[in-house]
Amino acid sequence: MIVWKNLDAAEAYKKLQAVQDAVRLRAVLDKDRVAAYSAPMACGLRYNYAAKKVDGRVLQLLQELADEQQLVEKYRALLAGEIINTGENRKVLHHLARGQLGADVVFQGKNMRQFYEEQRQKIADFAAKVHAGEIRGSTGKPFSTVTQIGIGGSDLGPRALYLALENWAAKNGKKKMDAHFISNVDPDDGAAVIASLNPEETLFILVSKSGVTQETLANELFVKSFLKKAGLDPAKHMIAVTSETSPLANNPAYLASFYMDDFIGGRFSSSSAVGGAVISLAFGPEVFACFLSGAAESDKMALETDIRKNAALLDALIGVYERNVLGFPATAVLPYSQALSRFPAHLQQADMESNGKQVNRFGEPLSYATGPVVFGEPGTNGQHSFYQLLHQGTDIIPLQFIGFLENQTGEDVEVDGSTSQMKLRANLAAQIVAFAKGKDDENPNKRFPGERPSSLISGKQLTPEVLGALLAHFENKIMFQGFTWNVNSFDQEGVQLGKKLTKNVLAGDMDETLAAYAGILGL
């Protein structure tokens, strides 16, 4: 029987609170520890946590915490289709959208696995026709560009995936179409993207699960106006990704409609039609299938109960220890791969929207910290930006590095005896050690205290399968942390109040305080 209880009610957590700063990295981090503190991940990736402030005693207590909080059992319940999103009384099925894990969940007579697979196949068939020139724009020209209109999870995840695979696809002959994204309701965003497009050859994807997302519908009208001014029929240049009950469904204003449902939250929707449409059109359906395969392999490994063999679970538990015992307020995601330039922004939403909660899954106030602030930037750019604070600031911020042996294009140059890729990897290795061990100096300005913990996810090359495994690792980490904190990681009430007040402003229904700020902004 599964029991949902707060973190501070767990006996293992009480034991952990007595184990603060048990590890001095400057003293213990050596080659033997680097070799020993490593866990396998899907698709050849590895999770190295040697530079984390944990030892055998802490790991044993984290294992006890995982067992006591029934983290893997709760994951199995999620996969079986139980109501895990208590705030909205919904199942959580983004894992099922990968197609290879989980039960055959049936809802109101509909087999959800079959539903997701049918939508994936519909997208694949549509993309194949676009690539073959069987589906064309209103002037008869074939589509060469796809542009996604969406915000939040309808933009951040798909955009991050596209950018992550763009160079790989070009190098491997998989690039079918260029992709662009319009998200911000600021008209300068839409105008800048549109200015770079040939409208006759552009297919737009409108993504809104509800069909009433204010920013997305405003951008849709912005795009339709652009198409009409160019003498084009918007209905022949636009498809919709939405729910079957939205006003966008089966609408003649779109070439085609592809569906998702309320069981897949926006920030977890890259595995659904939300990510599938743009990735299948840009790179081909087989590339999206490879991405899903890597994610499914990662999902399967997350079922392992031994935390040392379950990288997502281990990563999650170390994060809880850092947040709730060591008191660290934030986490930086630092990919040493330009292809992952928007990956930290996606994880920022996925993590902070999921676990930025102050009540538990039953609506009761919590007395402990939950989700950390998440931010990041690719290396080596970040080294010349905010690493100063990470090295010598007053807050210790745990770091999650990501690095690959090979770049995606094979293009490189040798300077001063080493290639650019070697320099990238050398910087990554150096930063891990510099953060952990620091440096003594008589000059206080040049003194580095060290003891800044980090982990490293490493692999050979960023491919579609590896990207899927990487995304699923972080999604599952977020899930496990939510289970540990006993929060509902799958609703997002925090975004609703601002939406409501925005409607009040536009309708002129304001109190005097809101009216005062609206007045400053010319409303």
Q: What is the pLDDT along the chain (523 residues), one digit of tens a residue?
A: 999 999 999 999 999 999 988 899 999 999 999 999 999 999 999 999 999 999 999 999 999 999 999 999 999 999 999 999 999 999 999 999 998 777 789 999 999 999 999 999 999 999 999 999 999 999 999 999 999 999 999 999 999 999 999 999 999 999 999 999 999 999 999 999 999 999 999 999 999 988 888 899 999 999 999 999 999 999 999 999 999 999 888 899 999 999 999 999 999 999 999 999 999 999 999 999 999 999 999 999 999 999 999 999 999 999 999 999 999 999 999 999 999 999 999 999 999 999 999 999 999 999 999 999 999 999 999 999 999 999 999 999 999 999 999 999 999 999 999 999 999 999 999 999 999 999 999 999 999 999 999 999 999 999 999 999 999 999 999 999 999 999 999 999 988 888 889 999 999 999 999 999 999 999 9
Q: How many helices (H) and strands (E) does the chain have?
A: 18, 15
pLDDT at 210: 87
pLDDT at 497: 87
d(CA 193, CA 106): 41
**SS3 sequence, 435-467?**
HHHCECCCCHHHCECCCCCEEEEEECCCCHHHH
Cβ(383)–Cβ(427) under 8 Å? yes
Residues in the chain: 523
Q: For 43, phi and psi rounded to 5 degrees?
A: 60, 35
Helix, strand, or coil (residue 26)? helix
Dihedral over Cα of 276, 313, 437, 395: its sign: positive
Q: Are the C-beta atoms of 34 and 48 separated by less than 8 Å?
A: yes
> For residue 43, what pLDDT is reported?
98
Residues serving a catalytic function are: 353, 384, 499
What CA–CA distance (Å, rounded) separates 491 from 468? 23
Q: What is the pLDDT of residue 396?
A: 98
Task: Find the distance separating the first CA and the last CA of the chain, reported in whole Å.
Answer: 55
- Count of CB atoms situated within 10 Å of the CB of 286: 12
Give Cβ neighbours of residue 500 (< 8 Å, ≥ 6 apart).
none
Closest CA to 467 of 207, 157, 205, 259: 157
The candidate with the shortest Cα–Cα distance to 116, out of 274, 294, 304, 323, is 274
User: Residue 179: which residues within 8 A CB-CB, separation 6 or more?
Assistant: 145, 146, 147, 148, 162, 166, 278, 281, 282
Q: How far is CA 405 from the centre of its chain?
A: 23
What pLDDT, on a 0 to 100 scale, did the predictor assign at position 103? 77
Report the largest interatomic distance among the alpha carbons of the chain, rounded to a whole angstrom.
73
pLDDT of residue 494: 85
Tell which residue, 16, 15, 12, has the closest CA to residue 327.
16
Q: Two tokens at 378?
A: 């690719």
The distance of Cα 147 from the centroid of its chain, to the nearest Å, equals 20
| Cα separation, 174 vs 203, whole angstroms | 19
**3 state DSSP class of 295:** helix
Q: What 8-state DSSP symbol labels residue 401?
A: E
Measured CA to CA, the distance from residue 461 to residue 126 in angstroms comes to 30
pTM of the shown model? 0.97
What pLDDT does residue 499 have?
85
Q: What confidence score (pLDDT) does residue 487 get? A: 98
Burial of 185 (0-12, 13-18, 19+ CB in 10 A): middle
Q: Give the pLDDT of residue 102.
A: 72
